């Protein structure tokens, strides 16, 4: 599919949009506005979808609910929402008919302006974990440099809406998932970063190799810098395999002192040995570790230092001055439920990292603290927990397990941390979180951290990880106030 180019002339084309979610609606409206004849298909059929369908129908967009397998007759191109699997029957029908399938990111790339040389450049970020935080840090740095930017892609406003906006952007900070990269064959960012690679979404991609290959697409055609994680050799291999423009450089980031063409940390200072005049003998101070999200009042977790270095590398690749890096990191405010300090109660810190929905994210979270009572569990999504528990066992004061697949974590704790006290709450109701916080408080000692880093998805108990984190925070604040949280 990489050889195909999406047409820039949409008038009269019959475009089928797969999925009636946020990105699907954005694509449908944008393409209809450009003169395409648009049909949206979705396998669901409920009141919410019918309301959305009625809204689109008012703009002469056809919507077909309850059938997402049949390709509408005369379709010239299928535009898919990110989560649709490559083996979906609709896409098989498209392949049989010789019709390309692309995603909303591909459409946005094609719509971003002509000629391409003067179109708004993209600084792109992917990885198993840390994408959103890094893109938000990058946008904060770019804004501090006086550039008009937006954090888009797998975050915030649909990317097509931003590309078609009348606002004159200087550069976009773009978060891209493996799904989005799979469906974006002609994407060629100015510079890009892969933060890390760990098994995730393998049911969608089919294998770790396929997942990594889709992540690696972000480096294709990079102009200035391919940013990689020196602690994760798989990211450097993706750089080595990429077909980039002549002169594009491989730029590493590390939590230790940087080598040539790297950004790193020396004595609590973020330094640049990549974008300086004489990188063999000198380095440029960019910021202090203490500048990373200083409003939290807590030391920056190692993975957030890595995120800041990746964001700084992309900003420096775009020509941003060191002072703006420091100012942007100081101004950055992380989203809720990402290593969020909720309260201190009786000398114990309570931290909400409900966003740690897989083992890789949870391992990074656990690595940030010395003595932990761990609240974990939920939907495992096919994950195993032996490596996570083995790497974190020495930090665990205790563990409280909740959720449908808590038994898998319990078995890993028995094998690799048999001396760690474990409370198994045989519950999957939303009120279990209040009980989990009380049990964690019982296990904790002054100086410990009670950490919600579930290593699992939330949908067995909560609508999403935000609701799970909210329930944790509510229970902690009730504990601090000396009252019982609702069960």
Task: Specify the residue for token string 């775009």.
Answer: 318
Asked whether residue 294 carries a pLDDT value surpassing 70, the answer given is: no
- Other CB atoms within a 10 A radius of the CB of residue 269 amount to 15
CA gyration radius, the chain: 23
Whether the CB-CB separation of 230 and 252 falls below 8 Å is answered with yes
What's the pLDDT tens digit per position in 148-196? 999 998 887 789 989 988 888 999 999 998 889 999 999 999 999 999 9
What's the distance, Cα to Cα, between the start and end of the chain in Å?
Answer: 52
Considering the domain 14-99, what is its CATH architecture?
A: 3-Layer(aba) Sandwich (3.40)
- Other CB atoms within a 10 A radius of the CB of residue 347 amount to 10
pLDDT at residue 364, as a whole number: 83
CATH assignment, 340-480: 3.90.190.20
pLDDT at residue 6, as a whole number: 44
Asked whether residue 3 carries a pLDDT value surpassing 90, the answer given is: no
Q: Domain residue spans in the chain?
A: 14-99, 108-331, 340-480
Residue with more model confidence, 338 or 206 = 338
Interatomic CA distance for residues 374 and 102, integer angstroms:
41
pLDDT above 90 as % of the chain:
69
CATH fold for the domain made of 108-331? 3.40.1190
Segments of 212-332 assigned E as strands? 225-229, 249-253, 262-266, 269-272, 284-288
pLDDT (average), residues 425-441 = 92
pLDDT at residue 2, as a whole number: 36
Prediction pTM value: 0.76
Name 316's Cβ contacts closer than 8 Å, sequence gap at least 6.
263, 272, 274, 275, 286, 325
- Torsional sign, CA 355, 356, 360, 366: positive
pLDDT at residue 203, as a whole number: 63
Angle at 402 (CA atoms; ends 396, 405), nearest 5 degrees: 100
């Amino acid at each position: 599919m990489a050889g195909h180019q999406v047409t820039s002339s949409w008038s009269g084309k019959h475009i089928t949009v797969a999925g009636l979610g946020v990105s699907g609606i954005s694509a449908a409206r944008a393409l209809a506005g450009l003169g395409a004849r648009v049909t949206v298909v979705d396998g669901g059929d409920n009141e919410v979808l019918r309301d959305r369908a009625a809204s689109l129908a008012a703009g002469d967009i056809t919507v077909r609910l309850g059938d997402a397998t049949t390709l509408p007759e005369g379709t010239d191109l299928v535009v898919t929402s990110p989560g649709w699997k490559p083996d979906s029957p609709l896409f098989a029908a498209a392949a049989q008919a010789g019709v390309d399938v692309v995603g909303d990111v591909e459409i946005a790339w094609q719509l971003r302006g002509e000629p391409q040389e003067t179109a708004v450049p993209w600084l792109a970020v992917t990885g198993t974990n840390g994408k959103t935080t890094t893109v938000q840090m990058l946008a904060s740095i770019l804004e501090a440099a006086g550039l008009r930017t937006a954090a888009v892609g797998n975050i915030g406003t649909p990317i097509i809406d931003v590309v078609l906006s009348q606002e004159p952007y200087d550069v976009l900070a773009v978060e891209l998932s493996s799904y989005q990269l799979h469906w974006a064959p002609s994407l060629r960012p100015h510079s890009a970063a892969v933060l890390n690679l760990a098994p995730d979404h393998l049911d969608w991609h089919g294998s770790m190799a396929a997942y990594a290959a889709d992540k690696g697409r972000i480096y294709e055609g990079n102009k200035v810098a391919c940013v990689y994680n020196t602690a994760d050799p798989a990211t450097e291999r993706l750089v080595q395999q990429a077909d980039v423009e002549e002169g594009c450089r491989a730029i590493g980031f590390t939590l230790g002192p940087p080598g040539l063409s790297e950004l790193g940390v020396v004595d609590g200072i973020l330094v640049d040995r990549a974008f300086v005049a004489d990188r063999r003998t000198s380095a440029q101070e960019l910021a202090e570790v203490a500048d990373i999200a200083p409003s939290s009042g807590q030391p920056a977790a190692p993975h957030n230092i890595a995120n800041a270095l990746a964001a700084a590398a992309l900003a420096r690749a775009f020509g941003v001055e060191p002072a703006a890096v420091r100012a942007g990191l100081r101004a950055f405010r992380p989203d809720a439920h990402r290593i969020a300090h909720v309260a201190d109660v009786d000398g114990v810190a309570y931290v909400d990292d409900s966003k740690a929905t897989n083992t890789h994210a949870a391992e990074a979270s656990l690595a940030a603290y010395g003595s932990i009572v761990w609240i974990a569990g939920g939907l495992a999504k096919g994950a195993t927990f032996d490596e996570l528990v083995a790497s974190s066992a020495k930090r665990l004061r205790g563990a409280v397990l909740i959720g449908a697949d808590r038994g898998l974590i319990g078995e890993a704790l028995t094998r690799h941390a048999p001396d760690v006290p474990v409370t198994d709450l045989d519950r999957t109701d939303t009120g279990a979180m209040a009980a989990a916080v009380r049990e964690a408080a019982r296990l904790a000692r002054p100086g410990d951290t009670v950490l919600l880093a579930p290593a699992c998805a939330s949908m067995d108990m909560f609508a999403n990880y935000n609701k799970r984190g909210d329930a944790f925070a509510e229970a902690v604040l009730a504990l601090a106030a000396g009252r019982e949280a609702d069960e």
